[in-house]
């Protein structure tokens, strides 16, 4: 993949993410809907492992044929892994984002490394795995919610979710939300590099 594509704007975007499922995800989504309904509608709770990459042309499945082929060739190199969630973080003051912290486990980082080797560098100079809870609040609302969430179970408890597949996601300029493009089953027996 062309390195410049990951650093310049184009017509549409893609990313590869880990989407936890089940009761935990429903609870996280309810929290997101309560505090930032727009973000909750745009995409399901997830952790971006590679992306966001800008692409040129129309946002179609056909325009990602190369990416799909690439992901199919590497899926057997990535083993399923546990996504360990818990703790409330923020990118304040630079960005008004509140997130559920994700432990940077060896397996998660190995999966990311394989994806970046195949797809090329992404926008993250310093990768901080996280699951976004809110990002469209005013500064004062963000600070208030951050303090509130740091007094909740979301900050003190820890959860684990098995990730046995990833999703390639795509969003064009007129799309109201991210679209699921391709499921990538993780079949690797030992994805560590």
At 119, which CATH number? 3.90.1140.10
Separation of alpha carbons 134 and 137, rounded Å:
7
Separation of alpha carbons 91 and 136, rounded Å:
13
Separation of alpha carbons 193 and 186, rounded Å:
15
Domain count of the chain? 1
Contact 120, 141 (CB under 8 A): no
Instruction: Look at residue 60 and tell me if it is in a domain.
Output: yes
pLDDT band at 51; cut points 50, 70, 90? very high
Residue 24 DSSP label:
H
- 3 state SS of 58: coil
User: Tell me: the pLDDT tens digits for 86-141?
Assistant: 999 999 889 999 999 999 999 999 999 999 999 999 987 889 999 999 999 999 99
Instruction: Look at residue 118 and tell me if it is in a domain.
Output: yes
Separation of alpha carbons 100 and 145, rounded Å:
13
Residue 6 has pLDDT above 60, yes or no: no
Distances in Å between the Cα of 181 and the Cα atoms of 10, 59, 104, 115, 142 are 18, 10, 26, 16, 32
Instruction: Look at residue 144 and tell me if it is in a domain.
Output: no
- 3 state SS of 41: helix
Q: Can you give the pTM of this predicted structure?
A: 0.90
Residue 2 has pLDDT above 60, yes or no: no
How much is the average pLDDT of 152-156? 97
Instruction: Look at residue 181 and tell me if it is in a domain.
Output: yes
Q: Write out the residue range of the structural domain in which residue 17 sits.
A: 3-81+103-133+161-185
User: Tell me: the pLDDT tens digits for 11-43?
Assistant: 999 999 999 999 999 999 999 999 999 999 999
Instruction: Look at residue 192 and tell me if it is in a domain.
Output: no
């Amino acid at each position: 993949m062309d390195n410049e594509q990951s650093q310049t704007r184009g017509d549409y975007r893609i990313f590869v993410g880990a989407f936890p499922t089940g009761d935990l995800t429903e609870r996280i989504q309810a929290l997101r809907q309560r505090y930032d309904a727009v973000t909750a509608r745009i995409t399901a709770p997830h952790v971006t492992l590679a992306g966001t990459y800008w692409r040129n042309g129309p946002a179609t499945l056909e325009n990602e044929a190369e990416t799909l082929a690439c992901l199919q060739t590497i899926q057997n190199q990535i083993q399923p892994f546990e996504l360990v969630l818990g703790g409330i973080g923020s990118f304040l003051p630079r960005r008004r984002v509140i997130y559920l912290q994700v432990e940077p486990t060896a397996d998660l980082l190995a999966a990311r490394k394989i994806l970046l080797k195949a797809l090329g560098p992404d926008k993250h100079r310093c990768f901080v795995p996280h699951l976004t809870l809110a990002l469209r609040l005013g500064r004062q609302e963000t600070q208030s919610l951050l303090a509130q969430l740091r007094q909740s179970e979301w900050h003190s408890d820890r959860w684990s979710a098995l990730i046995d597949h990833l999703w390639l996601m795509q969003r064009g300029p007129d799309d109201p939300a991210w679209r699921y493009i391709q499921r990538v089953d993780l079949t690797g027996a030992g994805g560590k590099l």
